[in-house]
Structure 1
Amino acid sequence: MDKLGLYFILFLALCYPLFLIYTLVTRTRSLIGKVQETRQDRDTSPVVYQHRLFKIQHPANWKVSEDEVKENIQFSRGGNSIKLNVFEGNLVPEAAFDSFVEINREVFNEPRESPLYSYGPYQGMGVVLQGIHKNFQSQSKERTATLKLFACTQEGICLGVRVGYLNDELEEIQPALTLMEDSLKLTPLQTPNAPS
């Protein structure tokens, strides 16, 4: 065997254990990452989301999304979500709410409707829409969904709520929906002291 062949065999003999170590470390990291993701996915412990105008608790495994000005905040898990629209103001114009309901009504085939007068501790106007969701019509099993739309004004804060969930997942997510509805607290606006 020539010298070059011997060096090549020696090189492979040294690299093979390094390759095995690298593979073992890489797979171990991947496995640890998946275990952590699984733990986070199962973590339903309450987490407080603090906003300038409200505070709410949500399960740790629900995703939180905000717009740039933090007036639209969405808490979601899978196809289920609660979206809050919160801003300073004194009125929720009925015409705007009616058009919001109409837009959401269009995602259903002939939805059933019922009035909604409160969300958490707040009184206002709302509607519950239930029926076959158009996005799930082409599946082998038609899935029904529920949308709860609610709006109110409380102490200078306008609150809009859109709760959407798939009815066949309600039993699983009901504790999360209850946690968020029961923990929602609007923060009264601080008015500057008037000069004397």
Structure 2
Amino acid sequence: MNIGPIRLENPTILAPLAGITNLPFRLIAKEAGCGMVCSEMISANGLVHRSRKTLRMLDSLPEEKPLSVQIFGSDPDVMAEAAAMAASSGADILDINFGCSVRKVVKTGAGVALMRDSKRTEAVLTAVRRVVSIPITIKVRSGWEPSGQEAVRICKIAEQCGVDAVAVHPRTARQGFRGRADWGGHPNGQTECRHPGGG
């Protein structure tokens, strides 16, 4: 499996999990055979404001390669600066979170809130693509409501902006982490767009 020019030994990818996928955990996952590991969800604002705790989340080791670093935020300029920092820290792939439904993230306009704002989504992706040459991936949800088409719309925008792959969390924003993940019932960008997809 390839994401842009990055070759994965296998399609098993460790998802970014806040408070879990730190450096030691990623090394364990890599030793267990993951084809790619991902950082915790990292605040773009925290990186740009040089928070020590946030900057430490960019720490990595050569043996965990290929490494994807996930950032979240809603300001295009801040996201671009944070993306450049992630790339210079050694990230092989940059992942942007469009799927977090936690209230404190959504109320800032980040995470799944971006799925309801096509113009801001395009501005964020355009700004990030302009400053990094590494592959860009995004994580989205299946929609805001069960009948929502947000994932299709966002994935089409992502494709136009040069995103290399998309991962779909098959729950809606309203579901959060509750209820059954619907792997077959929701429309999603993977069926509508040409770039690689996962979930």
Measured against the shorter chain, the TM-score band is under 0.3
Report the TM-score, using the length of structure 1 for normalisation.
0.24
Which structure's CA Rg is the greater one? 1
Higher-RCO chain (CA-CA 8 Å, sequence separation at least 6): 1
Report the TM-score, using the length of structure 2 for normalisation.
0.24
